[in-house]
Structure 1
Amino acid sequence: MKRYILAASVGLLAASGLGGDAQADFTICNKTYGTVSVAIGYRDGDQWVSEGWWNLSYEDCAQVVQGDLRQTYYYVRGESDDGETYWTDDYTFCYVDEVFTIRGDENCSGRGYKSGGFMEIDTGNKLDYTLDLTH
């Protein structure tokens, strides 16, 4: 797998409860039995942003957006290490195989990026949200 961990220590602190005062965050947890790599897309002002990758072993969680959630919709792409399970949908964002933060969701290939589907997550206007990835 060509992905790298962005926030393992943050995810471990959140999962263990050692992070101090509770914060509102967007957290993704791996409830599968393999390793999962995840990326997120969201609106930042008038621009789309995509970020990744967080590698999550079974039962690991990562805070992919920290602080109170400002959007109702976030977009997630997940890929299992076995290459057989994907969490995707019809919402397209740019990404690469290494750690990335990409501003803009247009002309991905022209800018040297891959383009792929992300699934829409409706947080219901909550300040914090946890997504469990399952098979």
Structure 2
Amino acid sequence: MLSGCVLAGWLVSGLPALAAFKLCNQSYDVLNIAIAQPGPEQAAADDFVTRGWWRVAPNQCATLVREPLKTRFLYVFATDVFGKEALSGAIPLCVGTRRFVIERQGDCLLRGFLDARFLEVDTTDQSDWTVFVSPRPS
């Protein structure tokens, strides 16, 4: 089982890193990952774009954003392969049942989407960030 335990940070190595937002699955379960970013019209409270799903096997990483990060906060939601929440937070946003890109949030169910609670990730304005999802302590 997973906890909401997330470690985050940027990795330092001798090689130049490509700026990106990555998620590494250190749990024992295959995870389905969705992310959310502010949309182009950031003035509106519901102006987020959600995207999914990335499937990340145990002890694997996935690059979710392949460019330098332009915003301090990104949002992540994860389920296991049975649909049980594995990583969630307090930010309500929309997700689809299959691969999706959803612009504008709100009224998820009325629009044919599912409600999900995303975890806010503070990248501290770094251009490269990695989230680590770890298993629940025994």
TM-score, length of structure 2 as denominator length: 0.78
Match of residue 27 from structure 1: 22
2: distance between equivalents of 1:110 and 1:98?
A: 17
Deviation at 1:81, TM superposition (A): 2.7
Q: Does the CA-based 8 Å contact 2:39-2:103 persist in structure 1?
A: no
1: distance between equivalents of 2:37 and 2:120?
A: 10
Match of residue 63 from structure 2: 63
What is the aligned residue count? 116
Deviation at 1:124, TM superposition (A): 0.5
Counterparts of 1:69-88 in structure 2 under 5 Å?
Answer: 69-81=69-81, 84=84, 86-88=86-88
Which string of whole-angstrom CA distances, capped at 9 and with x for unpartnered residues, describes residues 61-83 of structure 1? 11111110001000000112355
Secondary structure of 2:51's partner? strand
Match of residue 130 from structure 1: 130
Deviation at 1:89, TM superposition (A): 1.1
Gaps of 5+ in 2: 1-15, 42-46
AA of the residue aligned to 1:25: A
Structure with the higher strand share, 1 or 2: 2
Deviation at 1:85, TM superposition (A): 5.1
TM-score, length of structure 1 as denominator length: 0.79
CA separation of 1:134/1:127 partners in 2, compared to 1, >3 Å: closer, same or farther?
Answer: same
Which string of whole-angstrom CA distances, capped at 9 and with x for unpartnered residues, describes residues 22-67 of structure 1? 3100001100112011100110221310000111111111111111
Deviation at 1:116, TM superposition (A): 1.1
Q: Percent identity?
A: 27
Which string of whole-angstrom CA distances, capped at 9 and with x for unpartnered residues, describes residues 83-113 of structure 1? 5552101101111120000001111112111
CA separation of 1:110/1:85 partners in 2, compared to 1, >3 Å: closer, same or farther?
Answer: closer
Match of residue 12 from structure 2: none
Structure with the higher helix share, 1 or 2: 1
Structure number with greater CO (CA < 8 Å, separation at least 6) is: 2
Gaps of 5+ in 1: 1-20
